[in-house]
Structure 1
Amino acid sequence: MRLIATGLLVFMAVTFVVTRSLQSLHPAWGFVRAFSEAAMVGGLADWFAVTALFRHPLALPIPHTAIIPRNKDRIGDQLATFLRDYFLIPSVVARRMARIDVAAAAGRWLANPQGSGGRLARGTSRLAVEILQELDQERLGGMVRAMLVSRVRETELSPMIGRALSAAVAEDRHLPVLDSLIGWGRDALRSNEDLIRAMVHDRAGSILRWTGLDETLANKLIDGIDKLIGDIAENREHPLRLKAEEGLARLAYDLQHAPEMRDKVERLKIELLENSAMQNWINGLWEQARAAMLRMARDPQALLSGKFGEALQQLGHTLERDPKLGRTINRFVRRAVVGAAADYGDTIVRLVSETVRGWDTRTITERLENAVGKDLQFIRVNGTLVGGLVGVLIHAVDVLL
Structure 2
Amino acid sequence: MSLFQRVPRPGDAVPQPLRRMRLIATGLLVAMACLFLAARWMEARHGGGWGYVQAFAEAAMVGGLADWFAVTALFRHPLGLPIPHTAIVPRNKDRIGDTLAVFLKDNFLTPGVVARRMQHIDVARAAGRWLSDPPGGSGGRLRYGASRLAADLLESLDPERLGGMVKGALSSQLRALRIAPLLGQAMEAAIADGRHAPLLDGIIRWASRILESNQHLIRAMVHDRAGSILRWTGLDETLANKIIDGLERLVEEMAEDPTHPLRLKAEEGLARLATDLQNDAEAQAKVEAFKAELLDNPALGDWWQGVWETARAGMLRMARDPDAMMAGRLGDAMRQLGGTLQSDPALARTINRFVRRAAVGAAADYGDAIVRLVSDTVRGWDTRTITGRLENAVGRDLQYIRVNGTLVGGLVGLVIHAVDVGL
Q: TM-score, normalised by structure 2?
A: 0.58
- The 1:336/1:232 distance shift into structure 2, 3 A limit, reads farther
- The 1:210/1:95 distance shift into structure 2, 3 A limit, reads farther
Q: Tell me if 1:154 matches 2:176.
A: yes
Amino acid at match of 2:211: L
Task: Tell me what 1:331 maps to.
Answer: 350
Tell me how far 1:2 sits from its aligned partner: 9.5
- The 1:224/1:251 distance shift into structure 2, 3 A limit, reads same
Tell me how far 1:88 sits from its aligned partner: 11
Task: Tell me what 1:202 maps to.
Answer: 224
Give the distance between the partners of 1:143 and 1:92, measured in 2 at CA. 42
- The 1:95/1:340 distance shift into structure 2, 3 A limit, reads closer
Task: Tell me what 1:377 maps to.
Answer: 384
Give the distance between the partners of 2:292 and 2:110, measured in 1 at CA. 42
Give the distance between the partners of 2:79 and 2:10, measured in 1 at CA. 21
Q: 1:277 aligns with which of 299, 304, 325?
A: 299
Give the distance between the partners of 1:157 and 1:180, measured in 2 at CA. 24
Task: Tell me what 1:225 maps to.
Answer: 247
Task: Tell me what 2:155 maps to.
Answer: 133
Tell me how far 1:187 sits from its aligned partner: 1.2
Give the distance between the partners of 2:241 and 2:205, measured in 1 at CA. 20
Q: Structure 2: any 5+ residue segments left out of the alignment?
A: 1-7, 13-77, 95-100, 370-375, 390-423
Q: Tell me if 1:257 matches 2:287.
A: no
Whether the 8 Å contact between 2:131 and 2:334 is mirrored in structure 1 is yes
Q: 2:200 aligns with which of 178, 190, 194?
A: 178
Deviates more, 1:307-316 or 1:210-219: 307-316
Tell me how far 1:250 sits from its aligned partner: 0.7
Tell me how far 1:315 sits from its aligned partner: 4.3
Give the distance between the partners of 1:114 and 1:223, measured in 2 at CA. 73
Amino acid at match of 1:281: W
Whether the 8 Å contact between 1:103 and 1:326 is mirrored in structure 2 is no
Tell me how far 1:244 sits from its aligned partner: 0.8
- The 1:133/1:102 distance shift into structure 2, 3 A limit, reads farther
Task: Tell me what 2:125 maps to.
Answer: 104
Amino acid at match of 1:112: D
Task: Give the SS at the match of 1:147.
Answer: helix
- Structural mapping, 1:348-367, within 5 Å: none
Tell me how far 1:212 sits from its aligned partner: 2.2
Amino acid at match of 2:131: L
Give the distance between the partners of 1:212 and 1:306, measured in 2 at CA. 69
Measured on the aligned residues, the alpha-carbon RMSD in Å equals 4.4
Give the distance between the partners of 1:224 and 1:340, measured in 2 at CA. 77
Q: Tell me if 1:297 matches 2:336.
A: no
Tell me how far 1:99 sits from its aligned partner: 4.2
Q: TM-score, normalised by structure 1?
A: 0.61
Whether the 8 Å contact between 2:341 and 2:348 is mirrored in structure 1 is no
Tell me how far 1:137 sits from its aligned partner: 3.4
Length, aligned pairs only: 300
Amino acid at match of 1:163: Q
Amino acid at match of 1:174: H
Amino acid at match of 2:134: P
Whether the 8 Å contact between 1:97 and 1:334 is mirrored in structure 2 is no
Q: Structure 1: any 5+ residue segments left out of the alignment?
A: 6-33, 54-78, 353-367, 383-401
CA deviation profile, 1:263-310 (whole Å, cap 9, x unmatched): 222222222222222233333333333222222212222233235534
Percentage of matched positions with identical amino acids: 50
Give the distance between the partners of 1:285 and 1:96, measured in 2 at CA. 47
Deviates more, 1:263-272 or 1:281-290: 281-290
Give the distance between the partners of 2:204 and 2:151, measured in 1 at CA. 50
Whether the 8 Å contact between 1:94 and 1:334 is mirrored in structure 2 is no
- The 1:251/1:88 distance shift into structure 2, 3 A limit, reads farther
Amino acid at match of 2:294: L
Give the distance between the partners of 1:328 and 1:137, measured in 2 at CA. 37
Tell me how far 1:318 sits from its aligned partner: 4.6
Amino acid at match of 1:328: L
Amino acid at match of 2:348: I
Tell me how far 1:208 sits from its aligned partner: 2.5
Tell me how far 1:173 sits from its aligned partner: 0.8
Give the distance between the partners of 2:261 and 2:299, measured in 1 at CA. 40
Tell me how far 1:240 sits from its aligned partner: 0.9
Task: Tell me what 2:264 maps to.
Answer: 242
Give the distance between the partners of 2:351 and 2:132, measured in 1 at CA. 21
- The 1:283/1:36 distance shift into structure 2, 3 A limit, reads same
Give the distance between the partners of 1:96 and 1:286, measured in 2 at CA. 45
Give the distance between the partners of 2:356 and 2:220, measured in 1 at CA. 73
CA deviation profile, 1:168-195 (whole Å, cap 9, x unmatched): 1111111111111111111111122223
- The 1:106/1:248 distance shift into structure 2, 3 A limit, reads same
Amino acid at match of 1:106: A
Task: Tell me what 1:215 maps to.
Answer: 237
Tell me how far 1:317 sits from its aligned partner: 3.9
- The 1:341/1:253 distance shift into structure 2, 3 A limit, reads farther
Tell me how far 1:197 sits from its aligned partner: 2.1
